[in-house]
Amino acid sequence: DAGVIQSPRHEVTEMGQEVTLRCKPISGHNSLFWYRQTMMRGLELLIYFNNNVPIDDSGMPEDRFSAKMPNASFSTLKIQPSEPRDSAVYFCASGGRHEQYFGPGTRLTVT
Amino acid sequence: KNQVEQSPQSLIILEGKNCTLQCNYTVSPFSNLRWYKQDTGRGPVSLTIMTFSENTKSNGRYTATLDADTKQSSLHITASQLSDSASYICVVSTGYNQGGKLIFGQGTELSVKP
């Protein structure tokens, strides 16, 4: 298994632009998680899905952030409009009952 | 308030030495506690996961302990190697039946020097 796949690995964009991050979870996992990691705040859970349904989005910072999971093999995290404070590494993880496997992350820089 | 606190914030040791990282938590309800290793530029990788009834678990040179009464956990690394240089993150799950809401510590940055 290739593990959790994220794209792009790096994204540089200008303030105000729309950014879409993509994730392909490990086949057979029924939970998918989006995290953000910064030096100041560490790892933060943004949202998680179970069986493609959003269960808890209390970590989503504001309305500029949205996440979708149209099927079991794909999820997106969208930021519109992006701001410099959104610069971070965004991780996607998938898992079953007791374990989560993280993807390599997308490093987002908003200038 | 659910919190996970790790100490020390950073640690430098010589190759071959042992070290112990600490994690204190105030999370309720408690489901499990996990230790992750995160190499620079990579995603976290799970080392151990312990439920309420487990008080020790090993993964090679890594041994985690859990005291559910005092709400403390430690990660002991034996005979450290240069490749152990990484951030070690303690994560406590509040528990739900499909993965658990996770509360993350800020991590301990370990540097192993030759």
**What DSSP string runs through chain B?**
--EEEEE-SEEEEETT--EEEEEEEE-SS--EEEEEEE-TTS--EEEEEEETT--EEEETTEEEEEETTTTEEEEEE-S--GGG-EEEEEEEE---TTS--EEE---EEEEEE-
Query: Which one is predicted more confidently, B14 or B102?
Result: B14
A57 CA: distance to closest CA in chain B (Å): 11
Q: How confident is residue B98, by pLDDT bands cut at 50, 70 and 90?
A: very low
Interface of A with B (CB under 8 A): 4, 30-31, 33, 42-45, 48, 50, 55-56, 91, 93, 95-105
State which residues of chain A have pLDDT below 70. 1, 96-98
In percent, how much of chain A has pLDDT > 70? Answer: 96
B-chain residues near A55 (CB < 8 A): 98
In percent, how much of chain B has pLDDT > 70? Answer: 95
B79 CA: distance to closest CA in chain A (Å): 27
The pLDDT score that the predictor gives to residue A55 is: 85
